[in-house]
Structure 1
Amino acid sequence: MKIGAPRERLEGEARVALTPQSAAQLKKLGYDVVMEAGAGERARFGDDTYREAGVEVLDGAEALYAAADIVLKVRAPEGDELELLREGQTLISFIWPAQNEALLETLKGKGVNAIAMDMVPRISRAQKMDALSSMANIAGYRAVIEAGNNFGRFFTGQITAAGKVPPAKVLVVGAGVAGLAATGTSVSLGAITYAFDVRPEVAEQIESMGAEFVYLDFEESSQDSAATGGYAAPSSPEFREKQLEKFRELAPDIDIVITTALIPGRPAPKLWTEDMVKMMKPGSVVVDLAAERGGNCDLTVPDEKIVTDNDVTIIGYTDFPSRMATQSSTLYSTNLRHMLDDLTPEKDGTPVMNMEDDVIRGATVVNAGEITFPPPPPKTQAIAKAPPKKKELTVEEKAAAEVAAFKRQTRNQVTLIAVGAALLLGVGLVAPASFMQHFIVFVLAVFVGFQVIWNVSHSLHTPLMAVTNAISSIIILGALMQIGSGSFLVILLASLSVFMTGINIFGGFMVTRRMLAMFQKS
């Protein structure tokens, strides 16, 4: 069968669905690959590069659609492109089925099977096919770059001979893939970064990146992210009002706002209102990544950049991934390749629509002349449910628990010492004195080594653990004491002990050095 990728017709769309590298990988799956001439030029992939990868380059979309059994696209087909589709073909692209019922009906009527890359379920096994995350990652990064391009100051603070420059303050609304990418980029540029999300479980991720999570003084049961596929769900009106109140409090002090909040199948929620824009300082910037779905900011104009009366720039571009077309095309093409890899279990160039597979079933929106959207919930949850919170202990309960643990540990140690002493006494009654001298040293060495390692807290299992391994080689003292013995067997065993514990000592410090070097900047 033949896989083909046409040139994207939408104005401003520079991405291509298939790169030469991914095309070569698809050929290994048993497919023939065709491309429309010029399809990859805007993403800096020339026709000759495709030919070198064994791809047949065809002139015109008509020839491409006529030859291809599977059509790979970035944007869903529209207008004349729909007329070129034929019965039995498979279309794989972004489709947005919840917003494009007419398109689904058209594809159904033409007998075209359709797989929506925006419907890939967010489960661990499908991460390699998660095109939404790939594009959102790029959009989040690019949003910060666009903000910096329109912001008249440094991101990082500086102290120079000419004076002090304060750092920029950035607020990221929404901590999905795009929000986390924007947060990481902003932090790396040196800005004081704040982030907010309605899902409290993401606070730890935000803080681990060096940003500050914005908490609300509001009691509301946390959302079950496992039930919403890892996405945010609509909040209660009371929560929304508290959220807007917090944003109004922050607005006068924030230099850059990046909004990324989206709810699947719904218009983007309005989170940065007109009065908040008016509160912002002149020169501030708002980048609205939800512009294509109506925008999170009241004043956003899709595909445009506007400047308000109080000199606040609002960016509503909807083509952030296309502004990094080479990188976006590479990631998206890789997502498509992994999807086709799952669709071709025998690696014989024949796709199999296994509707029992969670990933294939979730992404398939039209199959065998029937609309299969919406899909059933996946058998595997997107995010594991959080374990129930443990009951908080009072100071008195904690003290009592510590005393009980100490008594239990002491009792166990006394029991072990008594049993060990009894065993030593029993062995001593029947064994010669020369044997007991060596045996007691052996037992003490094992006991000391065990105690040194066993009592190390799990929180210290870091590079310091390698040092602890070295320290545990105190048992080398026992070996050195025995190496002067007159018995050949004892001397041999002691020599081996010295050799092995020497490896542990020197190796422990060498491992520590290598591990610490990984965290040093070159």
Structure 2
Amino acid sequence: MKVLVVRETMPGERRVAATPETVAKMVAAGLEVTVEAGAGEEASFPDAAFEAAGAKVVREHAKALAAADIVLRVQPPADGDVKAMRKGALSIGFLQPATSAAAVKALAKHGVTAFSLEMVPRISRAQSMDALSSQASLAGYKAVLMAAVRLGKYFPMLMSAAGTIAPARVLVLGAGVAGLQAIATARRLGAVVEAYDVRPAVRDEVKSLGATFLELNLEAQEGQGGYAREQSDEFLAKQRELLTERVAAADVVITTAAVPGRKAPVLVTAEMVKGMRPGSVIVDLAADGGGNVELTKAGEVVEVGGVTIDGTRNVPSTIPVHASQLYARNVANLLLLMIKDGQLNLDLEDDVIKGAVVTHGGEVVNENARKMMAP
């Protein structure tokens, strides 16, 4: 079986879907691995390192795609890439069905069996393949560093002969994987941290990291797989009302709330931003999904009334070395689940495979993906 690791072409995407470590594992499993020249360059993995791990480095993109049985990537494929793949080939990467419906339909039409790492079920045996979590953790960590760079204050309390400097106050909205990592990182830097999530079940995790969990008089919004469910307009309005005071008191607000396949809920309105002190910083990790902040501009850093709002997209890609290492392990673990004696063994009754496969046999076979793609 021939495996191709493509070089990402989306602007700003610095990750790669395999590393020399995972290439060695695939080769040991009997797979023939080809890596597109320069695929790991942005993540500090040179072509020579892939060759030393047993891969062949190629430069002809379309020819390599046509020859591959399995294609590993990060971002959804462009239309030209889909057309270059052979019928019956297998693709693994982030498909983003909600925003890349055209790519999903093209893969199905072309007869490609495509797996989307966002769809990997949240069950114990699939944890090593959970790319959403591995990348979200990186985003939560980096969000705090981005805020610290822009905030004109110390994060920790400072005592000196010139007097005492109070610690920065950080508010984290959403205590999933990204939020919990943001809390942990802000606490390590010495900030006083508050956090809120619509799922009261995460209260103990928040407290264990040394943060205060905000108790709002609202109904729990626990959804499937541990995610929050989509909230009503009425709920969001009440939530914003109750959060207004805490947002105004914060030096830094980090928003991480997202519902898979849906537009990100607006947690911080323009009026709430107006109530923040000049010099405050907001990092909106939901910028790619429309933003948790009404004034966020995806891919931009803007200043409104002295408040900086950072809408950087694809934050994990700004830490390309570790983001690639973790993502590549997720990809390899999913792929090797389907490999037996160097050949593809596609068991569509396996819970992990069934949950992650999106297109097969010329159709979109994943019910959740179909819902996300619905107009």
Q: TM-score range by the shorter chain?
A: over 0.9
2:359 to 358, 366, 369: 366
Q: Distance in 2 between matches of 1:189 and 1:287?
A: 17
1:160-171 alignment to 2 at 5 Å?
A: 160-171=160-171
Task: Could you tell me which runs of 5 or more consecutive residues in structure 2 were left unpaired when the two chains were aligned.
Answer: 370-375
Equivalent in the alignment of 2:50? 50
Of Structure 1 and Structure 2, the greater strand share is in 2
Q: Does 1:268 align with 2:264?
A: yes
Equivalent in the alignment of 1:75? 75
Q: Secondary structure at the match of 1:229?
A: helix
Q: Distance in 1 between matches of 2:139 and 2:171?
A: 16
Instruction: Kindly indicate whether the alpha-carbon contact (under 8 Å) linking 1:244 and 1:271 is maintained by their aligned counterparts in 2.
Output: yes
Equivalent in the alignment of 1:356? 349
**Aligned Cα root-mean-square deviation (Å):** 1.3
Q: Secondary structure at the match of 2:253?
A: strand
Instruction: Kindly indicate whether the alpha-carbon contact (under 8 Å) linking 2:288 and 2:314 is maintained by their aligned counterparts in 1.
Output: no
1:69-468 alignment to 2 at 5 Å?
A: 69-218=69-218, 220=219, 222-225=220-223, 228-308=224-304, 310-344=305-339, 346=340, 348-374=341-367
Q: Distance in 1 between matches of 2:301 and 2:232?
A: 32
Q: In 2 relative to 1, CA 104–238 (structure 1 residues): closer, same or farther, beyond 3 Å?
A: closer
Q: In 2 relative to 1, CA 280–124 (structure 1 residues): closer, same or farther, beyond 3 Å?
A: same
Equivalent in the alignment of 1:62? 62
The one-letter code sitting in structure 2 at the alignment partner of 1:67 is A
Task: Could you tell me which runs of 5 or more consecutive residues in structure 1 were left unpaired when the two chains were aligned.
Answer: 377-522
Q: Distance in 1 between matches of 2:247 and 2:322?
A: 34
Q: Secondary structure at the match of 1:172?
A: strand
The one-letter code sitting in structure 2 at the alignment partner of 1:284 is S
Instruction: Kindly indicate whether the alpha-carbon contact (under 8 Å) linking 2:169 and 2:252 is maintained by their aligned counterparts in 1.
Output: yes
Structure 1 runs, 4 residues or longer, greater than 6 Å off: none
Q: Secondary structure at the match of 2:319?
A: helix
Instruction: Kindly indicate whether the alpha-carbon contact (under 8 Å) linking 1:5 and 1:64 is maintained by their aligned counterparts in 2.
Output: no
- Give the TM-score of the pair, scaled to structure 2: 0.96
Instruction: Kindly indicate whether the alpha-carbon contact (under 8 Å) linking 2:251 and 2:277 is maintained by their aligned counterparts in 1.
Output: yes
How far 1:98 sits from its partner (Å)?
Answer: 3.1
How far 1:56 sits from its partner (Å)?
Answer: 0.3
How far 1:105 sits from its partner (Å)?
Answer: 1.7
| Post-superposition CA distance 1:146-190 (Å, at most 9, x none) | 001111111011111112111000000001100011011011111
How far 1:237 sits from its partner (Å)?
Answer: 4.3
Q: Distance in 2 between matches of 1:241 and 1:321?
A: 30
- Give the TM-score of the pair, scaled to structure 1: 0.69
Q: Distance in 1 between matches of 2:114 and 2:249?
A: 47
The one-letter code sitting in structure 2 at the alignment partner of 1:295 is G
Instruction: Kindly indicate whether the alpha-carbon contact (under 8 Å) linking 1:216 and 1:242 is maintained by their aligned counterparts in 2.
Output: no
Q: Distance in 1 between matches of 2:44 and 2:203?
A: 39
Q: In 2 relative to 1, CA 223–248 (structure 1 residues): closer, same or farther, beyond 3 Å?
A: closer
Instruction: Kindly indicate whether the alpha-carbon contact (under 8 Å) linking 2:68 and 2:85 is maintained by their aligned counterparts in 1.
Output: no
The one-letter code sitting in structure 1 at the alignment partner of 2:244 is R
How far 1:375 sits from its partner (Å)?
Answer: 5.1
Q: Distance in 2 between matches of 1:97 and 1:48?
A: 35
Instruction: Kindly indicate whether the alpha-carbon contact (under 8 Å) linking 2:172 and 2:182 is maintained by their aligned counterparts in 1.
Output: yes
Q: Distance in 1 between matches of 2:11 and 2:157?
A: 39
Question: Which shows bigger deviation, 231-240 or 54-63?
Answer: 231-240
Percent identity reads 46
Q: In 2 relative to 1, CA 374–98 (structure 1 residues): closer, same or farther, beyond 3 Å?
A: farther
The one-letter code sitting in structure 1 at the alignment partner of 2:319 is M
Q: Secondary structure at the match of 1:306?
A: strand
How far 1:274 sits from its partner (Å)?
Answer: 0.3
Q: Distance in 2 between matches of 1:41 and 1:334?
A: 18
How far 1:241 sits from its partner (Å)?
Answer: 2.9
Q: Distance in 1 between matches of 2:233 and 2:115?
A: 36
How far 1:78 sits from its partner (Å)?
Answer: 1.1
Structure number with the bigger relative contact order (C-alpha 8 A, sep ≥ 6) is: 2
Instruction: Kindly indicate whether the alpha-carbon contact (under 8 Å) linking 1:89 and 1:112 is maintained by their aligned counterparts in 2.
Output: yes
Q: Distance in 2 between matches of 1:59 and 1:115?
A: 25
Instruction: Kindly indicate whether the alpha-carbon contact (under 8 Å) linking 2:175 and 2:196 is maintained by their aligned counterparts in 1.
Output: yes
How far 1:224 sits from its partner (Å)?
Answer: 4.4
Q: Distance in 1 between matches of 2:152 and 2:188?
A: 18
How far 1:238 sits from its partner (Å)?
Answer: 4.4
